[in-house]
């Protein structure tokens, strides 16, 4: 893992936006994996404010709530439209999102895996991390799913998303569709970003701990091209010279 430290989340977001836009210049047909959440807000703001040719870029989001229509303000589709897609020159046909309202959710998961394979895989997967070490909605468990699947959400994860549902965590769906660990680890390059002290323990376990399904992000240790971008608070438990 390559560890990059930044003074604050704005500096991190600027550096990540630069990396993504340079990757698009190098490969206009870049296939990007994208997260939602609080952490990438500054990164999406940077992308909105800078020019880039998104016309041939393809994207696949990590996850979506079950039972929530793309028009619902709590959906990750709505989040992505307002934070990024409505502001850049991306072709709507090139936006990959899971449909949480699909009549057959297992078939929807298979469709998504096939769409990623048809795109020849993900070139650059951007990730956030949950305070419990989850990535996507791969929650700590005795075992993890390899491929895109229906995930049961922990209360903590629902609470973390309550803002999207009027501040009421019980209104947050209890299930989501999520890329699995093999889907994520299949990306050719991965960047995980974490900011804030509430992520410091998860970041420490991800980098310094054993590989365990109780910390799903720890599986990133097996991937050959992972960059972990941290602000000072998220890096607080790491030794100053931690870099691998
Ligand atoms: C979101 C996702 C989640 C978040 C994680 C961190 O698409 O896959 O794994 O990245 O829950 O969320 P924030 O950034 O809100 O702390």
Mutate which of 37, 98, 100 for ligand 1? The one with the most ligand atoms within 8 Å of its CB, which is 37
Is residue 132 part of the annotated active site? The answer reads: yes
* Residues of the domain holding 106: 2-231
Distance 108 CA to ligand 1 centre (A): 21
Tens of pLDDT, residue by residue over 232-243, are 999 999 987 775
- 162, 168 Cβ separation under 8 angstroms: yes
- 60, 115 Cβ separation under 8 angstroms: yes
161 lines ligand 1 (CB under 6 A): no
- Name which residue sits closest to atom 2 of ligand 1, judged by CA: 136
Is residue 134 part of the annotated active site? The answer reads: yes
- 218, 212 Cβ separation under 8 angstroms: yes
How far is it, in rounded angstroms, from Cα 210 to Cα 214?
A: 10
Q: Does 240 map to a domain?
A: no
195 lines ligand 1 (CB under 6 A): no
Q: Does 8 map to a domain?
A: yes
Tens of pLDDT, residue by residue over 58-69, are 999 999 999 999
Residue 39 alpha carbon, nearest atom of ligand 1: 14
Is residue 63 part of the annotated active site? The answer reads: yes
Q: Does 100 map to a domain?
A: yes
φ, ψ (nearest 5 deg) of residue 165: -125, 45
Tens of each residue's pLDDT in the chain, 244 residues: 999 999 999 999 999 999 999 999 999 999 999 999 999 999 999 999 998 999 999 999 999 999 999 899 999 999 999 999 999 999 999 999 999 999 999 999 999 999 999 999 999 999 999 999 999 999 999 999 999 999 999 898 899 899 989 999 999 999 999 999 999 999 999 999 999 999 999 999 999 999 999 999 999 999 999 999 999 999 999 987 775 4
Q: Does 236 map to a domain?
A: no
Q: Does 225 map to a domain?
A: yes
Residues in the chain: 244
Query: Based on the structure, what is the number of domains in the chain?
Result: 1
Which is catalytic among the residues 61, 94, 108, 132?
Answer: 132
Within its chain, how far is the Cα of 26 from the centroid? Answer: 22
- 215, 205 Cβ separation under 8 angstroms: yes
Distance 123 CA to ligand 1 centre (A): 20
- 134, 127 Cβ separation under 8 angstroms: no
SS3 (DSSP) at 101: coil
Q: Does 122 map to a domain?
A: yes
How far is it, in rounded angstroms, from Cα 203 to Cα 237?
A: 8
- 9, 194 Cβ separation under 8 angstroms: no
Q: Does 50 map to a domain?
A: yes
Output the domain CATH number for residue 63. Answer: 3.40.50.1360
Q: Does 184 map to a domain?
A: yes
């Amino acid at each position: 893992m390559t560890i990059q430290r930044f003074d604050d989340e704005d500096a991190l977001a600027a550096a990540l936006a630069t990396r993504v836009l340079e990757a698009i210049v190098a490969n206009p047909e870049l296939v990007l994996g994208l997260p939602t959440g609080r952490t990438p807000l500054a990164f999406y703001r940077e992308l909105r404010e800078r020019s880039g040719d998104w016309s041939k870029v393809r994207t696949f989001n990590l996850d979506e709530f079950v039972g929530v229509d793309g028009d619902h303000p709590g959906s990750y589709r709505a989040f992505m439209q307002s934070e990024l897609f409505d502001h850049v020159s991306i072709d709507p046909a090139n936006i990959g999102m899971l449909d949480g309202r699909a009549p057959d959710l297992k078939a929807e998961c298979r469709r998504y895996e096939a769409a990623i394979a048809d795109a020849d895989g993900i070139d650059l997967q951007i990730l956030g991390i949950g305070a419990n070490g989850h990535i996507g909605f791969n929650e700590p468990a005795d075992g993890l799913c390899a491929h895109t699947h229906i995930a049961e959400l922990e209360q903590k994860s629902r609470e973390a998303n309550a803002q999207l549902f009027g501040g009421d965590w019980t209104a947050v769906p209890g299930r989501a569709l999520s890329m699995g660990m093999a889907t994520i680890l299949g990306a050719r390059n991965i960047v995980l970003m974490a900011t804030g002290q509430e992520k410091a323990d998860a970041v420490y376990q991800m980098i310094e701990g054993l590989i365990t399904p109780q910390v799903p992000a720890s599986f990133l240790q097996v991937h050959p091209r992972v960059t972990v971008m941290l602000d000072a608070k998220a890096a607080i438990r790491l030794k100053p010279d931690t870099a691998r």
